[in-house]
Structure 1
Amino acid sequence: MFRSIRWRLVTSYVVLTLLTVGAVGSLSLWVVKRYADQKEVDYLTANARAIASQALPLMYPQVSTYQLSQLAQVASFFGNVQVRILDATGRQLADSGLPEHAAELAWFMLPAEVEQIPGGWIIGPLPSQTPLLQSRQEGLPFSWIDRLPPGTSLTIISRTFTPWGSHFSFRAGQIYSQGSTLEEMPGESTASQRSERVIRVPIGDEAQPLGFVELSAGTDFGAEALAATRRAFVLAGSGAVILAAMLGLLMGNRLTTPIARLKETTRRMSSGDLSVRAPVHGSDEIGELAIQFNSMAEQLQASFNQVAAERDSLRRFIADASHELRTPITALKNFNDLLLSSAAEDQDVRIEFLTESQVQIDRLAWITNNLLDLSRFDAGLASMDIETHDLQRLIESALASYRPRIAERNINLVVNLPEESLGVHCDAGRFETVVSNLIDNALKFTPAGGEIEIGAAATETSTEIWIQDTGSGIDPEDLPHVFERFYRGTSNHAPGSGLGLSIAQSILQAHGGYIRAENVPGSGARFTLGLPK
């Protein structure tokens, strides 16, 4: 199945689609990764510089480890990164730990005068010694909460990790009694992939920094983006492959249907039906192939018809030649049998039989010589001695042997030749044979007292000679066949072998000339032959 053009086309569509989607996907993933990496560097660098600007007053003139720790915790909580603050020697001063270790943040407002507003937020002047933000550390109570009066309000900020950042929620609470601790309410966390990138920026002067802020373990947005892009391309590639397979099947069907019809046509043709033709759809390559195939089929059919016709002609030729040869051979056999009998004792009978035998021998020689000439002309092996000859002399030479018969039958011979000498390029002997055959043919069909006209005229490209008689003419049904070998017509029964006109045509064709036959209204037949100049 997969060796067919249809499935090869489907496979090529699918493979091409996979290669295209793979190439585009790889390039897109590379571009997205570069973009995400650059954005991650810019994001971490900007946050690190912001933290460094806030850490500078906490490190000079005196290092405040507690406040640096608070800064690291708050920055880690809101930036979703691990924050480390180092001194100039690289010693760690504060470390927020991994972002997952701090899921909630409590915001206490301790005013001397408290003002409530809608939404649960508490706004008021803050004592300088009271921390504004305090990170919840798992399992450790806030010891300084014991000093808060009951009813003190607070806001707890919860953080939930997502692949695209942190989701924050806020809820209000109160201190109900002195010495109590805040109820532990850990926030929900969704694990996210952490980046291995580390960004370190100086605190203070870059030439002589007081320390460094180091950010690491941030959310790997690039990996998340690449994963999402990869999933999108997988889905798009799967859809494209399905679409390509469907399109390949559709195009394969449109491509192979005419090919299948052409295949069926060739099968029927190989079984012998040469009349079948391939349907032509469109003007594309397959349509052109169908047109060329039909043209070939027409030529093949014509060739087979010609071969069949030639085969039939050959059969008729063999039959006619056998018949023509059998007649003199039978006559010779009969004469020979009679000469071997007692009839040979009669001298007059013996002379008569020998004379008639000579006639049959001459007839047999004429037939065999003409058949031999025809075979040589057909094979292109006939020798030709072409020279320029005077046309009038050639015609007079051909007429010489027929003048007694013409005079005997009281036939009016009209020779209509130009007064000036007219030269023709031909083999003199073979040209005289053509003229002799045409004169002999005219004598056979012209009644006593009739007329035979022989004429010639020069044209721009050839010399034309015609021989016209006043006989019965040629039957219209016989006119297309008069130059076929051994053809003697359906209504005329004049003597002859039916080879004279065939020989004349072969000789003229060997000269590059032509011969045609026609009926003259009110008269007989006219044969026109032409020789090139």
Structure 2
Amino acid sequence: MLLHTWSTRWLKASSVILLLILLCSFGLILHQLSSRSVSGTMPTMNQVRLKVNPLLLELEQQRSRLHDPAVKERLRSAASKQNLAFTYVGLDGTILLSSTLSSEGTSVNLRSALHYSLTDALQAADEDASLQLAFPLMDGPDGRQIGNVIFTVPQSLVYAPQSVTWSIFMLGGLVLLILILMVLLIRMERSVKRKMLTPVRHLKHHAESILKGKYDEQIQYNHSDEIGELYAMLDLMRLEIMHLSRQRIRQEKAQKELITNISHDLKTPITTLKAYIEAISEGLYTDEQTLKEYIEIMHIHTDKIARLIEDLLVHALHELGQISVEPQELYSRTVFGKMLKPIAHIVRSRELTYEEPEVIPNVLIRIDPVRIEQVVDNLVSNALKHTTPGDSIRINAEVNSGQFTLTIADSGQGMRAQDMPFIFERYFRGGPSSFSTPVQEGTGLGLSICKSIIEAHGGQIHFSSKAGQGTVFQFSLPLC
């Protein structure tokens, strides 16, 4: 479950329970307030009238015989059966008849003793005391008031009965909802700890491991939620950092090897040049022919040094993204004729068979002659390095599918299968095959530079090779 959905469900459940708790609390408060209030005056006074009406009618009927002890006793007995106490007071305040014998003949203060309304009776009564309500006693024939009857009634007759069951139900529901909310909050706390806090702590541990350079520790999380997405992104970042770190280490190692190789490759021709210069300056040559041979050897080593420096320069420009290619619209026969002409002498001087193109197609192409000549020189130099006397080097030019294609093939040592995926990578120097000498010359930059130059022209370069049978390089340039 996604954390957003999970948190929304928990929030909704908590909100509903809180709302129910508030409603139960409000209902319980209202019930308590209403239970302490008096029910409607008229319905309650009617209940009192129904209670006292039989005795009141008896008093009206027997008003002329109230001096008879038997009538008095009957009235007192009727009041006792109904759990009532009464006092019959004359208009002057004299008690004419009462449930209490000792009070007869005394008088009361009519102003304070007569309460015709329920409100007045409640105000005059003490808490939990009985209420004294007065009812006028009327003369039947002419309807005039002849006295008042004061009834003493219990407050339970006036107050509406309290619903204890409802209070218990509301209070029980409130307690139950509070317990449910507590359980919900405890489960939420555990879920938050399990689904969020613990994974975040583990994530912090993994981040610290990455910071310390421990890239091999795999980050695992088995849930498809927001935390899982964060784990996945961190693991991708770990892999990317690990790749970049290893690439940086390889490049640093390759650059150190490059410096070592170039230092070695420069040391040999410089040492040779120094030796021949000293020999010439000391006059150690015997004749002019020997001097020419010395100069020729010096020229070869000078060219080698120039090529190494040019490779370094192009490599530096390539690293900075500033390798310059200035293509011009030129005819292919003119350009490649000049490039390929010196190659024949160099190849044959190595006791190799050279097969030059029969005809170079004369098509218009966009080409930087200087950079393409550098590509051709690199490819021919590679072919020379991996051939021995008796092998052959073949160059062919043709036009196919709107592309001018130049092929440089040799019948030399070929490449190892494990080296083929990496030959266009910078600093890569193929290992020795069973057909070659252990030492591989070069900086490992040549083919990488060739690829960059051809791609800058909008062309392509590819190769095929088989160990012991030779290598074929082809590059193509688009026609205008």
Q: TM-score, normalised by structure 1?
A: 0.59
> Paired residue for 2:336, among 385, 390, 395?
395
Residue 45 of structure 2 aligns to which amino acid in structure 1?
A: A
Residue 313 of structure 1, CA deviation = 1.1
Q: Are the aligned partners of 1:508 and 1:514 in contact in 2 as well (CA < 8 Å)?
A: yes
> Paired residue for 1:497, among 439, 442, 448?
442
Q: Who is 1:180 aligned against? A: none
Q: Distance in 1 between matches of 2:76 and 2:478?
A: 133
Residue 310 of structure 1 aligns to which amino acid in structure 2?
A: Q
Q: Who is 2:110 aligned against? A: none
Q: Are the aligned partners of 1:515 and 1:530 in contact in 2 as well (CA < 8 Å)?
A: yes
Residue 508 of structure 1, CA deviation = 1.9
Question: Is 1:131 the equivalent of 2:78?
Answer: yes
Residue 406 of structure 2 aligns to which amino acid in structure 1?
A: I
Residue 269 of structure 1, CA deviation = 3.5
Residue 384 of structure 1, CA deviation = 1.7
Q: Who is 1:264 aligned against? A: 205
Residue 452 of structure 1, CA deviation = 0.7
Worse-superposed segment, 421-430 or 362-371: 421-430
Residue 318 of structure 1, CA deviation = 1.0
Q: TM-score, normalised by structure 2?
A: 0.65
The 5-angstrom pairing of residues 479-518 of structure 1 reads 479-483=420-424, 484-485=426-427, 487=429, 489-491=431-433, 492-493=436-437, 497-498=442-443, 499-518=445-464
CA 1:243/1:415 → structure 2, altered by over 3 Å: closer, same or farther? Answer: same
> Paired residue for 2:174, among 228, 233, 237?
233
Q: Are the aligned partners of 2:55 and 2:78 in contact in 1 as well (CA < 8 Å)?
A: no
> Paired residue for 1:46, among 43, 61, 65?
43
Number of aligned residue pairs:
395
Q: Distance in 2 between matches of 1:522 and 1:345?
A: 42
Residue 473 of structure 2 aligns to which amino acid in structure 1?
A: F
Counting helix residues as a fraction of each chain, which structure ranks higher? 2
Structure 1: segments with no counterpart, 5+ residues: 1-8, 68-109, 111-125, 145-192, 195-209
Residue 28 of structure 1 aligns to which amino acid in structure 2?
A: C
CA 1:315/1:532 → structure 2, altered by over 3 Å: closer, same or farther? Answer: farther
The 5-angstrom pairing of residues 263-342 of structure 1 reads 263-338=204-279, 342=282
Structure 2: segments with no counterpart, 5+ residues: 1-5, 64-69, 86-97, 103-126, 129-144
CA 1:388/1:57 → structure 2, altered by over 3 Å: closer, same or farther? Answer: farther
Secondary structure of 2:397 counterpart = strand
Q: Who is 2:320 aligned against? A: 379
Q: RMSD between aligned alpha carbons?
A: 4.8
Q: Distance in 2 between matches of 1:423 and 1:446?
A: 36
Q: Who is 2:411 aligned against? A: 470
Q: Distance in 2 between matches of 1:266 and 1:440?
A: 49
The 5-angstrom pairing of residues 133-282 of structure 1 reads 133=81, 135=83, 143=101, 218=159, 221=162, 229=170, 232-234=173-175, 236-238=177-179, 240-282=181-223
Please list the CA deviations of residues 167-217 of structure 1 after superposition, one character each: whole Å capped at 9, or x if unmatched. Answer: xxxxxxxxxxxxxxxxxxxxxxxxxx98xxxxxxxxxxxxxxx99x99898
Q: Are the aligned partners of 2:327 and 2:368 in contact in 1 as well (CA < 8 Å)?
A: yes
Q: Who is 1:439 aligned against? A: 380
CA 1:466/1:357 → structure 2, altered by over 3 Å: closer, same or farther? Answer: closer
> Paired residue for 1:30, among 26, 31, 36?
26
Secondary structure of 1:527 counterpart = strand
Residue 357 of structure 2 aligns to which amino acid in structure 1?
A: V
> Paired residue for 2:311, among 362, 370, 378?
370
Q: Who is 1:424 aligned against? A: 365
Residue 290 of structure 1, CA deviation = 2.1
Residue 35 of structure 1, CA deviation = 6.4
Residue 51 of structure 1 aligns to which amino acid in structure 2?
A: V
**Percent sequence identity over matched residues?**
20
Residue 435 of structure 1 aligns to which amino acid in structure 2?
A: V
Q: Are the aligned partners of 1:390 and 1:422 in contact in 2 as well (CA < 8 Å)?
A: yes
Q: Are the aligned partners of 1:478 and 1:489 in contact in 2 as well (CA < 8 Å)?
A: yes
Secondary structure of 2:336 counterpart = helix
Q: Are the aligned partners of 1:486 and 1:497 in contact in 2 as well (CA < 8 Å)?
A: no
Q: Who is 2:93 aligned against? A: none
